[in-house]
Amino acid sequence: MLKGKNALVTGSSRGIGEAIARALAADGCNVMMNGFGDADEIERKRASIADDTGATVKFHGADLADEDQIDDLTRCTMEELGSVDILVNNAVIRYFHSIDDFDRKNWRHALAVNVTAPFLLTQNVLPGMRARGWGRVVNFSSVLGLAARSGRADYITSKTAMLGLTRATAAETRGEKNITCNALCPGSVLTPNTEIKITELAEAEAISFEAAKDEYLRRRGQKTGYIEPARVAGLVTFLCQEAASDITGAALPIDRGRSATWLEGLGE
């Protein structure tokens, strides 16, 4: 149980982040949510998590492309919850362009949200973790931090960088008794963003949504179905437990074996 701990989870207004916020709250954490979307819908989700778990759950709508708003998010979390014991860097911006056609403004935006924001948040919360002698940082990489595909330069670069940030943070906290930093590398998770891409595929191929779900996975080499957000959230909560205190600097795939078997089917 994580009773009495306080967590900041970025990108938690929907999808994997929302599942993580709920899982941590259910395990006893107070949680600061962050993200974007319809304000009424976000409030409904925040209140639901708080009511269902009894945890204190707050929301801050910081734009993670803005350094001042990142600092305000950290400050407000510390003021409203008392500390940041757990930092989950989950928020991400995605663009879908080839390198030749990539708008430089979008490139800077992606790196600001996907790489600089996690660095700054880690920088902001580490001193408190050191002072209290306990802390957990969980960064989100991806199977595309372990391999690549065309048209995803910003995402692949960002998610590879998150592996480096994870190792650097683990190296700098290795001498601390109970501070860890690890990265998760999910495969295809059925999130609202994934559903948008499936819908686009269905329209482009003139097939049903269900057929497009299968085709979307086939094209990504993930043969045995989508990963549930709750299972990703369960791995995050495990990494925050005392049982995981010896795990740091790791990059943990949660991808149904996709990254381990990507050569299958390519011939010899």
Tell me how long the chain is: 268
Whether residue 127 is predicted with pLDDT greater than 90 in this model: the reply is yes
Report the C-alpha gap between 197 and 149 in whole angstroms: 16
Residues 112, 29: one domain? yes
pTM of the full predicted structure?
Answer: 0.92
In a domain, 89, yes or no: yes
Tens digit of each residue's pLDDT (9 = 90 or more) over 21-61: 999 999 999 999 999 999 999 999 999 999 999 999 999 99
Q: Are 239 and 212 in contact (CB under 8 A)?
A: no
- Greater pLDDT, 47 or 189: 47
pLDDT at 268: 40
Residues 105, 211: one domain? no
Report the C-alpha gap between 106 and 192 in whole angstroms: 21
- 264 pLDDT band (50/70/90 cuts)? low
In a domain, 1, yes or no: no
Exposure b/e, 11-47, CB count within 10 A at least 16 = b: bbbbbbbbbbbbbbbbbebbbbbbbeeeeeebeebbe
Residues 23, 119: one domain? yes
Active-site positions read: 155
Residues 152, 204: one domain? no
- Greater pLDDT, 217 or 141: 141
Total of domains in the chain: 2
Of 91, 2, 12, whose CA–CA distance to 55 is shortest?
2
Residues 87, 174: one domain? yes
In a domain, 88, yes or no: yes
Residues 56, 177: one domain? yes
In a domain, 109, yes or no: yes
Residues 39, 111: one domain? yes
Of 25, 118, 103, whose CA–CA distance to 70 is shortest?
118
